[in-house]
Structure 1
Amino acid sequence: MTMAIALQLLLAAGWLAAFGLLVLLLALELTMGRAPRLGATPAGASKGGKEANGRDILSVIVPAYNEATRINSCVGALLASELGGMNWRLVVADDDSSDSTVEGLEALIEAGAFPSPPLEVLRCGPRPAGERWSGKTLPCSEAVRLLPQRPTPDPDPAATEWLLFIDADVTVAPPALASAVAEARRSGADLLPLAPRIRCGCLAEWVVQPIVVALLGLGFPIARANNPDDPTAFAAGPFMLFRRSSYEAIGGHRALAAEVVEDLALARAIKQRGLSLRYLLGIDLLELRMYPDFGSLWEGWTKNWHLGLNRNPLLTLASGAVVLGLFSGPWLLLLLAGLQAIQLPLNWPSLLTPALVGVALQLAVRLWSRWRFGLGLRHWWLAWLGGLVIAAIAPVSIWKTSTGRGWTWRGRSLRPY
């Protein structure tokens, strides 16, 4: 009797996981599949056919901390941008790196390796004693503070000034910046964040990132974020384009210096102020490679997971349990079906059917991701491992965030003073 009950529970769990994956697939298509996407706009023109103001000023700020292995490709792609006659400048704001981030760039600048516009490297120095600055809030704030001291030749008083904060692990296509500015002008956006295409390199990324991307698409639907009457706010931190006057109206990064997930905080501040948020998919124009290895992935997601769920312990634990059930559950049933086939050959198909349906739906989700987002199928059969990793991330994130122990970003403690 006990074995029969256990079998029925496993069957129910298997079919529940399959149903959950089907719901996930349909919900992704309804939310992310039909989400607004930014395409390439010719430099100097907006989508509405109006000429973009070539006198506008675009200040591109790249906060960097120990980015020696990635900064050159990021900067090189930015300097290859097609911006027509727009007046722009590029500043790499170094957050007191301990590697050769600054020295490498300065050597290339001195050698004349970078074309116009001039690339400037700002050394922000150590963080002020007695002040709490989290993540990239300090270099972003310092770069903006010093921008007025970097005059643009023959400025137009009527020109709009834009601030673009872009992470060093992002690579942009040549039309990306012009397209973003044109769309912000056309839509009247005060903040225009773009969600990049996620590129996976190491095994840890292949097993975890596709699941995370799917969850983010459901947790922060773009339609609601773009609705001015809906309080939902979301922003993709790697690419955030602000109208400078609006950025200053909310106090910029300085007003949110201690925020660990500063992109969400900035987006919420924009909407709370009654300003316009325009969140788009930018997967045709920019690419993001987040984590080079498992250690950095673990540090990054245990830093953010609990915060992204508003520090709600039940919701955080539930998210880990749901991911475990959806992505690890079908593979566990497949294993049990194999063991059952050896011992009880007459009953084994009962577990095999929901297991195979669940695995097939996992493949369907990855095929959908390849179709809509260009995310490859590599290692898709290791979804069970991704489920286990995320199930472990959830409780560890609660512990780190609540106690401050081991709560770091790139080795820097995030623990409050």
Structure 2
Amino acid sequence: MTAANLVLLGRAAGAPAPGALVSVLIPARDEAANIGACLDAALASAGVPIEVLVMDDGSTDGTARIVEARAAADPRLRLLQAPPLPPGWTGKVHACARLAEAARGTHFLFIDADVRLAPDAAARMAGHAAANGLALVSGVPRQRIGSLGEGVTVPAINLMMLGYLPGAGRAFTNHPAMAAACGQLLMAERGAYEAVGGHAAFPRRLHDALALSRNLREAGHRTEVVDGSPLADCRMYSGFAEAWAGFAKNAREGMATPLGLPVWTVLLGAPHLLPWLLLPSPWAIAALILSFLTRAAITLRVREPLWTIPLHPVTVAVALAIQWTALIRSALGRPAGWKGRAYQPVDVP
């Protein structure tokens, strides 16, 4: 499956339709360390007209001041203040919904504040959507990994996408169950987005990109994941504790379900961890060679640091530990926390 997905994973290409306007939409909560560089990259976009909207979601640091200073010098940038979070909503989903309401564009490019767009990213994604009749185009940005803690957690994203999802989210896998998207870099065509209710259709969800992609497919629209490494880069977390908390936050809407996680434990543990217990069997050695070759191929394709490859068994073990911890915490009634907010998990079919 990895070999097939690496061949199938395409790059965004095409010219934006005449009259296209891309609204770059950035939800931000206490992002003073990131927002300046994020805005500089977004405002350097070329090849398609853009506007940039930042939703300051109750920040207590200097996020708003940084945005205001840049907005004073560039009329394409607007700062919005998020209204109080309504009951039954998660923070990012609420901010994205309000951003979409204020946007003027034909396409909505949702990015996180830690994402740095390439100059041609907006144009290539809008062009790819137009050329292929897509309602949604998404990709995993190139992950900048700066610590051991990130090295044993962040690579699991592309491992799961390219190693375990048939078709890796390409449009021909049109069933909603095969949908995929990355909330760090997601472009939606305005008409299709509004037709399915946008983010307001799933106010309690934490994994908003996946929910939007599935909703669009259920309504008959085409969605696609492309190679995001040429389009943007991102440093998600600054260390192990932050990475653990971030991945645990979304776990119950993905793998960490009572029926699904035992299956995932076998699918991940059997090929990547069990052979270590069976050494020095020749079969175990062969299995480990295949495991590391699979990981190396993914790492090279998505341009992640090569030093993370030898850490592969630890990455798999940590990924499973995060999922089991999230499931157990949920069973005990403990909410997931992120940036000062607590969220009860949502059971997803």
Do the structures match in fold with TM over 0.5? Answer: yes
Counterpart CA distance in 2 for 1:416 and 1:219 is 24
Structure 2 counterpart of 1:103:
65
Counterpart CA distance in 2 for 1:142 and 1:230 is 29
Structure 1 147/383 Cα, relative in aligned 2: closer, same or farther at 3 Å?
A: closer
Structure 2 counterpart of 1:393:
322
Structure 1 323/94 Cα, relative in aligned 2: closer, same or farther at 3 Å?
A: same
Counterpart CA distance in 2 for 1:137 and 1:372 is 31
**Does the CA contact (< 8 Å) of 1:62 and 1:168 recur in 2?**
yes
Structure 1 counterpart of 2:219:
273
Match of 1:306 among 245, 252, 263: 252
Deviation per CA, 1:157-186: give whole Å up to 9, x if none.
xxx811111111211111111111111111
- Identity percentage of aligned residues: 31
Match of 2:116 among 138, 156, 171: 171
**Residue pairs, 1:45-56, within 5 angstroms:** 45=15, 52-53=17-18, 55-56=19-20
**Residue pairs, 1:238-387, within 5 angstroms:** 238-309=184-255, 312-331=257-276, 351=280, 353-354=282-283, 356-387=285-316
Bigger Cα displacement from structure 2, 317-326 vs 231-240: 317-326
Q: CA deviation at 1:406?
A: 4.2
Counterpart AA for 1:259: R
Counterpart AA for 2:100: V
Q: CA deviation at 1:320?
A: 3.3
Structure 2 counterpart of 1:124:
82
Do residues 136 (structure 1) and 92 (structure 2) align?
yes
User: Equivalent residue of 1:99, what SS?
Assistant: coil
Do residues 183 (structure 1) and 133 (structure 2) align?
no
Structure 2 counterpart of 1:37:
11
Q: TM-score, normalised on structure 2?
A: 0.88
User: Equivalent residue of 2:110, what SS?
Assistant: strand
Q: CA deviation at 1:377?
A: 1.7
User: Equivalent residue of 1:89, what SS?
Assistant: strand
Q: CA deviation at 1:241?
A: 1.3
Q: CA deviation at 1:252?
A: 1.1
Q: CA deviation at 1:219?
A: 3.5
Q: Which has the larger radius of gyration?
A: 1
Counterpart CA distance in 1 for 2:273 and 2:106 is 49
Bigger Cα displacement from structure 2, 212-221 vs 224-233: 224-233
**Does the CA contact (< 8 Å) of 1:301 and 1:397 recur in 2?**
no
**Residue pairs, 1:154-169, within 5 angstroms:** 161-169=106-114
User: Equivalent residue of 2:206, what SS?
Assistant: coil
Counterpart CA distance in 2 for 1:118 and 1:223 is 35
Q: CA deviation at 1:81?
A: 0.9
Counterpart CA distance in 2 for 1:253 and 1:383 is 35
Q: TM-score, normalised on structure 1?
A: 0.75
Structure 1 210/360 Cα, relative in aligned 2: closer, same or farther at 3 Å?
A: same
Structure 1 127/223 Cα, relative in aligned 2: closer, same or farther at 3 Å?
A: closer
**Does the CA contact (< 8 Å) of 2:167 and 2:173 recur in 1?**
no
Q: CA deviation at 1:57?
A: 2.2
Structure 2 counterpart of 1:415:
344
Structure 1 30/74 Cα, relative in aligned 2: closer, same or farther at 3 Å?
A: same
Counterpart CA distance in 2 for 1:386 and 1:406 is 25
Counterpart CA distance in 2 for 1:330 and 1:69 is 42
**Does the CA contact (< 8 Å) of 1:180 and 1:241 recur in 2?**
yes
Q: CA deviation at 1:368?
A: 0.9
Counterpart CA distance in 1 for 2:112 and 2:92 is 9
Q: CA deviation at 1:62?
A: 0.7
